[in-house]
Copies of this chain bind each other. A is one copy, B any other.
Amino acid sequence: MKSDRAYATLLEEIQSGVLVPGAPLAEAELAARLGVSRTPLREAIGRLVADGLAVQQSPRITVVSDFDAARVQQLFEVRRALEEAAARLASTRGDAETFARLADEFAAASTNLENGHSPAATADYYALIARFDTAIDAAVANDYLTASLRTVRTHLVRARRLARHDRARLRASAVEHGLIANAIAAGDADLAAHATHIHLHNALQGTLASLSAHPEGTP
C-alpha cells in the first residue's frame, strides 16, 4: 500500500535525521514530494504520531518530535524496565540452544570488530542485534511487551545516530550481549536481568558521553 511506503519513507527520514526535530510535517508538501495523495500521507503521519515520532504542536501543526540528551535518558528508563523484564521472561521460556548460538555469534562479532575498519562490520553487528531482539520477542511470546519494545527500538535508532559509538564501545557491547545471551541460555533470570541492567547502563553512559563530546558536529 502507498500509505505503508509513505510511512516507511518518513520513518527512515526521521530516524536518519533528514527530518530534524521540529520540522513541520505539512501534508500538501510531503504528499507532492512522496508522490502520493494526501489521504495515505495523513495515515502515515497518524502512525508517526502514534509512535511518538511526531507530535501535534498545535491543533493544526504536526512536527517531528524533539530528541535530545534528556529524551535519551527518559527513553532508557523505559528501555531498562522493558528489557530487564524481557530478559527475565526469556530466561524462563526461551530455547537454550537458540541463545547459546547467539552468544557464540556475539563472541565472534566481538573479535570481528577488533580487526581494522571493515565498514560492513558495524552494519553486520546491528543486524545481529536485530536478530537477537527477534529471538527475545519470540521467546517472551507476549504481544504487549513486543509492541512496547518495538516503540522503544524505533526511538533508539535516533539515539544511535546521535551517538555514533566508537569501535571500542561496540566491542564492549558485543561482550555484554554475549553475557545476556548466555544467562538466558542457562535459564538464569536474575543473571540475565542484571546483565541487561549493566549493558543498558553502559550503553546510556556511552551515548551521553558521545553526545556531550560532539553536540551536533560532524567530525
A residues near B, CB below 8 A? 39, 42-43, 46-47, 50-52, 71, 74-75, 77-78, 80-82, 84-85, 89, 142-145, 147-148, 151-152, 155
Contact = CB atoms under 8 A, between A and B. Distances in A.
B50 A77 contact: no
Contacts of A84: 81
Contacts of A155: 144
Contacts of A81: 81-82, 84-85, 145
DSSP class of A's interface residues: helix, strand, loop or mixed? helix
Contact of A148 (B42, B71, B78): B78
A147 to B, nearest CB: 6
Of A43, A74, A144, the most chain B CB neighbours within 10 A belong to A144
A155 to B, nearest CB: 7
Contact of A142 (B50, B51, B74): B74
A75 B43 contact: no
